[in-house]
Amino acid sequence: MLRVMSSAVVTVFLRTMAANSHDPSSPDLSQENLGVRVPTDVTVTPIGTVGGTRKPEGMSVFDEADAIPIHHRPRVLGGLSDRPLWELPADTVQPPLQFANTRGAHWVIAPAQVMALPDYVAALEATAPAWSVWHA
């Protein structure tokens, strides 16, 4: 069941990503960072669209740092990753994107509607200015 996030419940989402090599205050826009991996994160239809799936798919984020898998969690938080942890205010994500809870503290930034894969990627990239490096 798709649970769309209410910003009254969760105020910030977290993701480990590399910084942009030209601007360390901004996340890297590659599919491994501020992006999605096909077919790992999203299923693309034969006509090139994403979204509208029964199970929510998209870019993973977490509402608790402890829930981030150890291989992605920064070393400063007891993990194995050298990448910084970034935070995104929940109220910055608007259509055509939405937050969807998949299990526990794991969420995805999913397409709010069926859309072309390049449009979904562009919508994710448009969130770049809203991300900031998390500080404990």
Range with the lowest mean pLDDT among 6-10, 31-35, 96-100?
A: 6-10
Residue 3: pLDDT band (50, 70, 90) is very low
Structure confidence at residue 136 (pLDDT): 67
Residue 86 has pLDDT above 90, yes or no: yes
Token pair of 90, please? 């929940």
**Angstrom distance (rounded) from CA 111 to CA 98:** 6
pLDDT at 13 over 50: yes
The pLDDT confidence band at residue 7, using thresholds 50, 70 and 90, is: very low
Residue 71 makes CB contacts below 8 A (sequence gap 6+) with: 79, 80, 81
Are 50 and 120 spatial neighbours (Cβ–Cβ below 8 Å)? yes
User: What average pLDDT does this structure show over 124-128?
Assistant: 95
**pLDDT of res. 9:** 76
- pLDDT above 80: residue 92: yes
Q: What is the dihedral of CA 125, 53, 107, 6, to 10 degrees?
A: 90
Q: Looking up tokens 């919508």, which residue turns up?
A: 123
Helix (H, G, I), strand (E, B) or coil at 58: coil
pLDDT at 31: 86
Residue 120 has pLDDT above 90, yes or no: yes
